[in-house]
Structure 1
Amino acid sequence: MLACRRLAALGLLLVLCQGRGEDGGADSCDNFTDLNLSHCFLGTNLYVRLLLYTRANPACGRELHHRRFPSEPLFDLSRPTAFVVHGYRPTGAPPVWIDRLVRLLAEGRDLNVVVVDWNRGAANLNYLAAVAYTREAAHNLTGFIRAMQEEGASLGSMHLIGVSLGAHLAGFVGANLKGKVGRITGLDPAGPLFTGATPDERLDPSDAMFVDVLHTDMDSFGLRGAHGHIDFYANGGADQPGCPKTIFAGKSYFVCDHQRSMLLYLCALNRTCTLRAYPCASYADFLDGRCLQCEAFKPASCPQLGYDVIQWRESLLRLGQTKVFFSTTASQPYRKLNYRVDMVTWNQYLRWGVVYIRLHSGRNVTEARVDHKLLRFEQFTSTRLLAQFEEDLPHVHKISLRINTGNVIGPRYKIRLLQIRLTPLERPERFPFSVYRLWIWTLP
């Protein structure tokens, strides 16, 4: 923002302007490099800028000199430092999420937040050139961190948050520093040119003392597999709810799933989303209700996406690489409320179908559809399901249940339940509730 005053002197109108950042400081702010498509067509040469934000200047960056940074009074090396590393920038524009992420980090904790602006290098229509620059940018950032060490900073207090291609750049920095960096967070690490790469050619758990990874687009721009001490898979790690399913949606069809990783992380940082994930071998097993136990973790609850997942570090290092799965809605606050459903069927003949469960609280109703596959119901058999509701109804007074056979035409069958029991997994203060001796007519 410019605060200007006009002075008339010797018959001339002079305009004297003084730079003033949003935080009220007298100095001008240093902003993220803003390029355009012409730069991308011509290609850019790598140039790395480091922009500092703290609680004192959460919206006004201060560019740090790579060697003379001790002269910056806001850069307190006794504080932890979080480095934010963006990815490939095919249009050259600043990331739309950068200001919000910086504010949430700087205002929520007493940190040095350093944005690693390598837009001159990442902004290339030639993706191969941007990938090649990641090694050089990592070498640059490694030198800066070593200079911090020489001034008394601790490697263990440093956290690198890498987005897409930036996740691998962060991994290269960690490898350069022999894995002694405290933490690396990878938000949907880039897949193109990294699929099938060896651990030293991409982000992997040896790059830091703790590595957490979020996957949202493994079937396109994201990287398949497990690459951290803990890997979170939102909705299985591939297709995200609310994202376009056809190419006619334009740009959003290509980037929506990939960008969802940042939206989920921002929501978790803002503490408006509580996204708890469950250890499991696959998303299918998770949806089948086979992986709803978290006793192996300390604290004795399932890990939660976000900055605070570090509290599960000791358990994760003991357990080894861990995959955790969770489902979300299409929009904030993204969370689904999970119920474990245990049913005992009594019907004599085998039946197949999908299940719809409704919870009623006054006039409010929420429904969970367990329809990812046909379920098998047979006599005196216990069935465990995972029911996921989009709304949290605190005072449930009625449960309704229906079963659909999936046939277009056909007879209605009666399914007898000896018992159905619903246990809220994220609300331990609420007691499970049960219904006994229930008869249900299936829908054809």
Structure 2
Amino acid sequence: MLYSRLVGLLWISHQLVMGMDGECGVFTDLGLQHSLIGTSLNVQLLLYTRANSTCGRILKHEDPFSQPQLRPKRPTTFIIHGYRPTGSPPGWIDEFVELLLDRADLNVIVVDWNRGATSINYLTPVANTPKVARNVTDFIKKMQDHEASLSSIHLIGISLGAHISGFIGAAFEGRVGRITALDPAGPQFTDTSTDKRLDPSDAQFVDVVHTDMDALGFRKPLGHIDYYANGGSDQPGCPKTIAGGSGYFKCDHQRSVYLFLDSIKNTTCNMTSYPCRSYQDFLDAKCLDCDQFKDGGCPVFGYDVLHWKERLLQLNQTSVYFTTNSLHPFCKTLYKVEIVTWNQETKKAYITLKLYGKEQETEATIDHTASEFQQYTKTTLLAQFDQGLQKVEKVLLRFRTGNLLCPRYKLRLLRIQLTPIQSNLRPMCRYDLLLEHNKDVFFRPIPCRVFSF
């Protein structure tokens, strides 16, 4: 009896691994020993569709269509990972596949080049990137022979995978539909010519996000639109010192993937981005004008940016900025804050705002620089809240000088106006407030008067 039960369990396990109509492919799982001794390049292509969303089918380069799930006329998205120093599979692969298939009926092909990306010597995977590109290029040519359209191909490349995507696109003279580059690798690619890295000519549309440009990522623009999340370097919630362990090295870099995943699944919490000369100007609320995008407004980050494709192509290369929370949902709610003071002398201060709804509250501290307040002069600030409120019933306002040696002066407000940037809610105002250093002042906002400075 025990023997028969064991046989039955083994058969069920076999079916789960193999699938009902063939073997399920598995992403290559290596270990630290492989990283130390190095690995020889081998590219495995794993196909996922809505018919086999949890069971990847291994595609044969010599005969791609031996797998009936691969439909050449269906749009195809390739996911191309980057450097894998420890040899482990990317933890986000399964979610990536699932979310893409939830959004559209696609061929999703995971390009597994872990054997070739795993090495303690970063230069080895870098040298393998053109080889991976040639492998995938040959596969796409076979798809073309079966009437697959280049314009329906989307290459999503992470780190080194971004440049692999660029090499593939260049091989087709930029006729590939879209390349999405998630924090393209910087080391060994910075200051190289365009034929040795990703550039806008590699696809009909190239969108790029930068999250670690001061370390593992690429600093300069590489696409038709380049998103600099939180300025493009230090990401909220990531370790700031080596005491944070491995996260100190990879958290900022990997955040690009999780931001993009959030853009696929979270269609109600859009991360709107703003064209600007610098991140500092963005934080100073100097870049909230979206007129150049006409009726479409400023572009959102991520999967749905194709809604702005035509306008972005006209603008050629556009750098945009946005900020995020440290966790899902990543989108922030922005308010333009305008303050006019009574004080005769110019004052500098940091401002904290807290909004209260019926059962919610959210806070924003504007502390990237001390704001300057001059008498009868409107000072504009950007307040970023971790969530939006449908109705603001009460506001907390606090200021501090940030300088322990300065006298703790008072800030006399003639007017404060809070205008939500990403919604149709009306501006809120309050008049004639006296603020004392580091003390909370509460007020109920009222409709703004037609009154300007």
TM category (shorter chain) comes to over 0.9
Bigger mean CA offset, 180-189 vs 62-71: 62-71
Match of 1:103 among 86, 98, 105: 98
Q: Superposition pairs for residues 29-44 of structure 1, below 5 Å?
A: 29-44=24-39
Alpha-carbon distance in structure 2 between the residues aligned to 1:13 and 1:363: 54
Contact 2:49 2:69 in 1 (8 A): yes
Bigger mean CA offset, 291-300 vs 61-70: 291-300
SS in 2 for 1:227: coil
Alpha-carbon distance in structure 1 between the residues aligned to 2:318 and 2:408: 44
Tell me the TM-score normalised to structure 2 length.
0.91
Bigger mean CA offset, 258-267 vs 163-172: 258-267
Which residue in the other structure is 2:380 paired with?
A: 384
Q: Give yes or no for the alignment of 1:136 onto 2:131.
A: yes
Which residue in the other structure is 2:273 paired with?
A: 277
Q: Give yes or no for the alignment of 1:310 onto 2:320.
A: no
1:308-336 CA-to-partner distances (Å, cap 9, x unmatched) read 11111001011121111111111111221
Shift of 1:271: 1.3
SS in 2 for 1:159: strand
Q: Superposition pairs for residues 174-253 of structure 1, below 5 Å?
A: 174-253=169-248
SS in 2 for 1:385: strand
Shift of 1:295: 2.2
Alpha-carbon distance in structure 1 between the residues aligned to 2:401 and 2:11: 77
Contact 2:64 2:139 in 1 (8 A): no
Alpha-carbon distance in structure 1 between the residues aligned to 2:181 and 2:8: 54
Shift of 1:26: 3.4
Task: Summarize the Cα distance change of 1:207–1:389 in structure 2 as closer, same or farther, 3 Å threshold.
Answer: same
Match of 2:287 among 291, 294, 307: 291
Alpha-carbon distance in structure 2 between the residues aligned to 1:299 and 1:140: 42
Alpha-carbon distance in structure 2 between the residues aligned to 1:402 and 1:217: 33
Alpha-carbon distance in structure 2 between the residues aligned to 1:16 and 1:376: 72
Alpha-carbon distance in structure 1 between the residues aligned to 2:191 and 2:142: 34
Bigger mean CA offset, 355-364 vs 161-170: 355-364
Shift of 1:443: 4.0
Alpha-carbon distance in structure 2 between the residues aligned to 1:47 and 1:340: 52
SS in 2 for 1:258: helix
Match of 1:319 among 315, 322, 331: 315
Q: Give yes or no for the alignment of 1:367 onto 2:359.
A: no
Higher strand share: 1
Task: Summarize the Cα distance change of 1:26–1:18 in structure 2 as closer, same or farther, 3 Å threshold.
Answer: farther
Alpha-carbon distance in structure 2 between the residues aligned to 1:14 and 1:215: 47
Which residue in the other structure is 1:160 paired with?
A: 155
Letter in 1 for 2:110: V
Any stretches of 5+ residues in structure 2 without a counterpart? 440-453
Percentage identity across paired residues of the two chains:
53
Contact 1:20 1:29 in 2 (8 A): no
Which residue in the other structure is 2:443 paired with?
A: none
Task: Summarize the Cα distance change of 1:391–1:134 in structure 2 as closer, same or farther, 3 Å threshold.
Answer: same
Contact 1:159 1:185 in 2 (8 A): yes
Any stretches of 5+ residues in structure 1 without a counterpart? none
Alpha-carbon distance in structure 2 between the residues aligned to 1:108 and 1:227: 27
Letter in 2 for 1:244: P
> What RMSD in Å do the two structures reach over aligned CA positions?
2.3
1:390-433 CA-to-partner distances (Å, cap 9, x unmatched) read 132221122232221122144332333222211111222x1111
Task: Summarize the Cα distance change of 1:7–1:301 in structure 2 as closer, same or farther, 3 Å threshold.
Answer: same
Letter in 1 for 2:346: L
Tell me the TM-score normalised to structure 1 length.
0.93
Alpha-carbon distance in structure 2 between the residues aligned to 1:233 and 1:319: 17
Letter in 2 for 1:333: P
Alpha-carbon distance in structure 1 between the residues aligned to 2:53 and 2:18: 7
Letter in 1 for 2:303: Y
Task: Summarize the Cα distance change of 1:311–1:339 in structure 2 as closer, same or farther, 3 Å threshold.
Answer: same
Contact 1:79 1:110 in 2 (8 A): yes
Shift of 1:13: 11
Letter in 1 for 2:375: Q
The aligned length equals 437
Which residue in the other structure is 1:412 paired with?
A: 408
Shift of 1:338: 0.3
SS in 2 for 1:297: helix
Higher helix share: 2
